[in-house]
Structure 1
Amino acid sequence: MLTLSEVRIPRSGGELEFGARKGETVVIEVRLIKEQDAEYLLSLELRNMEFFQLYTGKRDEHFYTLDGQRERIERAIASAAEDTGYYFVILLNGNIIGIIMLSEVVRWNLQSSWIGYFLDKEQNGKGYMTEAVRQVVAIAFDELEFHRLEAGVMPHNIGSIKVLLKAGFHKEGIAKQNVKINGKWQDHQTLAIINPRDLM
């Protein structure tokens, strides 16, 4: 069982030579979620409520409260301590702009996890998510010692598929009607990446 202190998150993130203004350098970092993030997460969720809802299951009203976000963080911290899931915040020059989750952790003879993510709508298309996914993949393989990461994306979500492909994932097939989104069962494109150390 891993404790939070045993997950060694890289101190330096990725520097990208683009941003809001031409020539601006932005720094993308990821770190494990913590209790102090509740207000920032609530703001992120409220700003992007309709956008995020397009790609996830239905959320109740309590989710969109400060207490709801505090409870979410408590569960996330407990999951990391139990090695059943890991929640990372994505930082743009120190400010939270999104979340990446490693969930459905299976150890023993699989050593696998699913990866999912959300990014502030205003920050889409800038390369930030690709960099953040790369960092979490490195943590998953180098620190958490997973063999395989998987992702499921609705086929029409071309932007998300491109993020994963740029981060080194490969397509594996379509899972038919496997996740209910907004009351409707949706197909998902399955993508995966294997730890390079395990490749024969």
Structure 2
Amino acid sequence: MFELVALHECDPKRVARFLTLNRERFRPYAPTRSEHYYTNSHWRAACKRSKIEWKEGRAYRFVVMHKNEEVIGKIDLDHIRRGPFSTGDFGYFLDRRHEGQSIMRRAMEEVLSMVFTDFKLNRVQAAIMPQNTRSSGLVKRLGFREIGLAERYLKLDGEWRDHLLFELVSRKPAAQAPADEKTAEKPAEKPVTPQADSEPVDAEIITDAPAGDEPEKETKETS
């Protein structure tokens, strides 16, 4: 059982504890962190900043709560560029103890349901290292499409890493036909018996792999 909560509405101590417990696990997917990053004081300031970013439409940050008690995941939609670009970047982390339960997939679905409506974006992007096939599979099942390879895209764990880029774009509703076309008479057609659509089966993600988050001014990988 999980709940999606805005970062600025969460107890900073719980966020600090989550990241401290998973420090070594997330290391390959994140920039080099200072010791201060894992402190309660850092996350008190980060939560305050998150509230301002949310209000100004510059970033939307969430935590995934387990039984309304423990933080087990984090999702960031940040680096938002408004105006004609109208896009943002996704990154996320999940506690290893809660992998294999499709928690991150369902949490991401909740956030994506807000992206093109509440947050009024046109496009979102995710960057994933090529070897992270589980995370690539996750974003593809969420509707993202691969758009190319970016060499030396992010410096993570002290090394410049190549990343595959994925995007999800808002789709405009189909244009309605003009009124005169709607009312125009059409020749009678022979009834056609409807047939069931052939739909692919959406396989479960076995493991929701981690991804980078963003502290003060950070880059991150979605993994």
Classify the TM-score, shorter chain. 0.7 to 0.9
2:3 aligned residue: 29
Equivalent residue runs for 1:161-172 within 5 Å: 161-172=136-147
Q: Which amino acid in structure 1 is aligned with residue 146 of structure 2?
A: K
Work out the CA distance in 1 between the residues paired with 2:158 and 2:127: 18
Higher strand proportion: 1
Higher helix proportion: 1
Would the alpha carbon gap of residues 125 and 78 (structure 1) be closer, same or farther in structure 2, given more than 3 Å must change? same
Q: Which amino acid in structure 2 is aligned with residue 85 of structure 1?
A: A
Whether 1:105 aligns to 2:89 is: no
Structure 2: state its 5+ residue gaps.
176-223
2:43 maps to which of 69, 81, 97? 69
Work out the CA distance in 2 between the residues paired with 1:148 and 1:36: 27
Work out the CA distance in 2 between the residues paired with 1:165 and 1:134: 12
2:21 aligned residue: 47
Q: Which amino acid in structure 2 is aligned with residue 61 of structure 1?
A: E
2:199 aligned residue: none
Q: RMSD of aligned C-alpha atoms?
A: 1.7
2:89 aligned residue: 114
2:55 maps to which of 81, 87, 99? 81
Whether 1:146 aligns to 2:158 is: no
Structure 1: state its 5+ residue gaps.
1-25
> Could you report, residue by residue, the CA deviation over 1:95-123 in whole angstroms, capped at 9, with x for unpaired residues?
42111101110111111110111111111
1:38 maps to which of 12, 34, 41? 12
1:182 aligned residue: 157
Work out the CA distance in 2 between the residues paired with 1:161 and 1:52: 17
- SS of the residue aligned with 1:179? strand
TM-score with structure 1 setting the length:
0.81
Contact 2:57-2:119 within 8 A present in 1 as well: no
Work out the CA distance in 2 between the residues paired with 1:199 and 1:187: 37
Greater RCO, CA 8 A, separation 6+: 2
Work out the CA distance in 1 between the residues paired with 2:133 and 2:25: 15
Deviating runs (4+, > 4 A) in structure 1? none
Residues matched between the structures, number: 174
Work out the CA distance in 2 between the residues paired with 1:68 and 1:84: 20
Would the alpha carbon gap of residues 29 and 183 (structure 1) be closer, same or farther in structure 2, given more than 3 Å must change? same
Work out the CA distance in 2 between the residues paired with 1:35 and 1:131: 20
Larger gyration radius, structure 1 or structure 2: 2
Task: Work out the percentage of aligned pairs sharing the same amino acid.
Answer: 28
TM-score with structure 2 setting the length:
0.73
Which is worse superposed, 111-120 or 78-87?
78-87
1:191 maps to which of 166, 189, 202? 166
Would the alpha carbon gap of residues 114 and 90 (structure 1) be closer, same or farther in structure 2, given more than 3 Å must change? same
2:204 aligned residue: none
| Deviation of 1:35 (Å) | 5.2
Q: Which amino acid in structure 2 is aligned with residue 97 of structure 1?
A: I
Q: Which amino acid in structure 1 is aligned with residue 35 of structure 2?
A: E
Q: Which amino acid in structure 2 is aligned with residue 151 of structure 1?
A: A
Contact 1:147-1:198 within 8 A present in 2 as well: no
